[in-house]
Amino acid sequence: MTVTSDQILEVLRPVEDPELHRSIVELEMVRDITIASGSVTVLVALTIPGCPLRNEITNRVSTAVAALDGVDAVDVQFTVMTDEQRDRVREILRSGGGDHPNAGQQGHGHADGPKRGAPFMMPESKTRIIAMASGKGGVGKSSITVNTAIALAARGKRVALLDADIYGFSVPRMMGITADPVVIDGSDDVPPVLVLPVAFGVSVISAGYFIDEDKAFVWRGPMLHKALEQFLNDVYWGEPDYFLIDMPPGTGDVALSMAQYLPRTEVLIITTPQPAAQRVAQRTAALAEKVNLTVRGIIENMSWFTGDDGKRYELFGSGGGAELAAKLDVPLIGNVPLVPELRQGGDDGTPITISDPKSEAAMAFENIAEWIESNGPTKRYRSELTIVNG
């Protein structure tokens, strides 16, 4: 039986580029197929020279093609894309592959918001955007965000995470990410695209990729605004099921920018049991109300510590999360215990949802992820509905 080029192309459609997570056929990376007496040669064009994952591409292509009847040997060869071919890849990535209803259109319409927009930023996108916010620092917001993201990914969801805490970025370290984003260079007409590292099923962008964590830096509001705009526009996000934002503490410039850029955002507020923390957290809820974002629920961290004697000790008091939830008329969706492993996992880059998925803390994150999945947004956005003044 003689195999055909069309058959080979068809079995290569499910083969994804390991960095871009898109079909190598869809990205037009398969440049040539040669068949000679049962021996097949596939020429694959890489976006950049010296791609570190070329061996993985070789394995994926070889495995797919070798499964066809009539194929005795597979040889995978590589070339590098021209500038025009890279431009085409960027266009495909930015448009969501051309099958999104608003592929190629501009951002969500705010006059001074982003000029472009990922597909998930469109009003009719099914991506749920969830801001993890707190009124003050030190409540474990980043740990909660990271482990919730991983718990959602473990449920088979596509998850992306924006570390919007520009001054206090910590997510890459918490997730053990050491690789930098891959940059597909732009041109005069097409801006560059950043392809993100993925850890535990979660795509992550953070200022930590670009700023030396040992050096101080000072950015005023406009610079923060611009950085967040670039994170949203110049990153290849695809269209995840969940887009989590690790917000900085407080109610400053970043919170206002996120409300402007992503008006569909749902807000989860993280607090601790003591009354002082929940009173400060109320300010975050007040800001959300002012910018027309919906607070969906409260997560209480450090709720208790379980000693070696099996007893629970409420080291930081009790009731703060429940009291805040009652005041805001939203549910308390999770209580996360205080455990040393949760802190250690963040320092070591192995979050507790990975290192000890059956632990008390990890199960708390599983319950939070289940609640999020079971409770959709309360607002619905329809792009075909418009408001006419006058």
3-state SS, residue 225? helix
Q: Is the model's pLDDT at 107 over the cut of 50? A: no
Provide the total of helices (H) and of strands (E) in the chain, helices listed first.
12, 15
E-state strands within the chain: 30-36, 39-46, 73-80, 128-133, 159-163, 182-184, 193-195, 198-199, 202-206, 242-246, 266-271, 294-301, 305-306, 312-313, 332-336
Question: For 274-278, which contacts have Cβ atoms below 8 Å and span 24 or more sequence positions?
Answer: 274/316, 274/317, 274/320, 275/317, 275/319, 275/320, 275/323, 277/135, 277/136, 277/139, 277/320, 278/320, 278/321, 278/323, 278/324
Task: Look up the CATH number of the domain holding residue 40.
Answer: 3.30.300.130
- Choosing from 33, 50, 81, the residue where a domain stops is 81
Eight-state DSSP code of residue 23: B
Residue 120: inside a domain, yes or no?
yes
Place 332 in a pLDDT band, splitting at 50, 70 and 90: very high
Residue 4 in tokens: 């055909």
Place 114 in a pLDDT band, splitting at 50, 70 and 90: very low
pLDDT of the residue at 390? 44
pLDDT of the residue at 118? 64
Residue 26: inside a domain, yes or no?
yes
My answer on whether 327 and 208 are in the same domain is: yes
Average of per-residue pLDDT across 80-85: 86
Q: Is the model's pLDDT at 117 over the cut of 80? A: no
pLDDT of the residue at 90? 79
Each residue's pLDDT tens digit, 152-182: 999 999 999 999 887 778 898 999 998 888 7
Q: Is the model's pLDDT at 323 over the cut of 80? A: yes
Residue 314: inside a domain, yes or no?
yes
User: Are the C-beta atoms of residues 345 and 327 closer than 8 Å to each other?
Assistant: no
Each residue's pLDDT tens digit, 224-259: 667 777 778 788 887 899 999 998 876 666 667 777
My answer on whether 113 and 73 are in the same domain is: no
My answer on whether 127 and 46 are in the same domain is: no
End-to-end CA distance of the chain: 71
Residue 90: inside a domain, yes or no?
no
Residue 293 is part of which domain span?
104-374
Task: Look up the CATH number of the domain holding residue 108.
Answer: 3.40.50.300
pLDDT of the residue at 96? 56
CA–CA distance, 16 with 183 (Å, rounded to integer): 18
My answer on whether 118 and 188 are in the same domain is: yes
Average pLDDT for the chain: 81
My answer on whether 306 and 346 are in the same domain is: yes
Place 335 in a pLDDT band, splitting at 50, 70 and 90: very high
Residue 385: inside a domain, yes or no?
no
Span of 100-104, 188-192, 197-201, 332-336 with lowest mean pLDDT: 100-104
Give the pairing of strands 198-199 and 202-206. Answer: antiparallel
pLDDT of the residue at 130? 94
CA–CA distance, 123 with 105 (Å, rounded to integer): 12
What is the percent of the chain where pLDDT is above 70?
Answer: 82
CA–CA distance, 179 with 198 (Å, rounded to integer): 9
pLDDT of the residue at 47? 83
My answer on whether 220 and 258 are in the same domain is: yes
- Choosing from 81, 114, 138, the residue where a domain stops is 81
Contact residues for 372 (Cβ-Cβ < 8 A; gap 6+): 128, 130, 148, 152, 242, 333
More confident residue, 19 or 216: 19
| Inter-CA distances, 223 with 114, 139, 206, 229, Å | 14, 26, 15, 10
My answer on whether 280 and 223 are in the same domain is: yes
User: Are the C-beta atoms of residues 294 and 133 closer than 8 Å to each other?
Assistant: no
Residue 92: inside a domain, yes or no?
no
pLDDT of the residue at 297? 94
Q: Is the model's pLDDT at 142 over the cut of 50? A: yes
My answer on whether 290 and 250 are in the same domain is: yes
My answer on whether 208 and 341 are in the same domain is: yes
Contact residues for 380 (Cβ-Cβ < 8 A; gap 6+): none
Residue 146 in tokens: 């990271």
My answer on whether 45 and 189 are in the same domain is: no
Residue 233 in tokens: 């526009």
What is the percent of the chain where pLDDT is above 90?
Answer: 39
| Inter-CA distances, 379 with 10, 233, 290, 295, 324, Å | 41, 24, 16, 11, 22
pLDDT of the residue at 111? 35
User: Are the C-beta atoms of residues 318 and 300 closer than 8 Å to each other?
Assistant: no
Q: Is the Cα dihedral 165, 166, 169, 171 positive or negative?
A: positive
The crossing angle, in degrees rounded to 10, of helices 141-154 and 340-348 is: 80
Q: Is the model's pLDDT at 353 over the cut of 70? A: yes
pLDDT of the residue at 1? 67
Place 99 in a pLDDT band, splitting at 50, 70 and 90: very low
Residue 94: inside a domain, yes or no?
no
CA–CA distance, 50 with 180 (Å, rounded to integer): 15
Residue 384 in tokens: 């075909």
Domains of the chain: total: 2
pLDDT of the residue at 32? 94
| Inter-CA distances, 61 with 34, 80, 83, 272, Å | 14, 17, 24, 50
User: Are the C-beta atoms of residues 113 and 107 closer than 8 Å to each other?
Assistant: yes
- Choosing from 50, 81, 112, the residue where a domain stops is 81
User: Are the C-beta atoms of residues 301 and 336 closer than 8 Å to each other?
Assistant: yes
More confident residue, 298 or 384: 298
pLDDT of the residue at 183? 79
Average of per-residue pLDDT across 125-140: 86
**Backbone φ, ψ for residue 148 (5° rounding):** -65, -40
Tally the C-alpha atoms within 13 A of residue 76's C-alpha that lie toward its C-beta: 20
My answer on whether 77 and 148 are in the same domain is: no
Residue 53: inside a domain, yes or no?
yes
My answer on whether 33 and 111 are in the same domain is: no
pLDDT of the residue at 292? 81
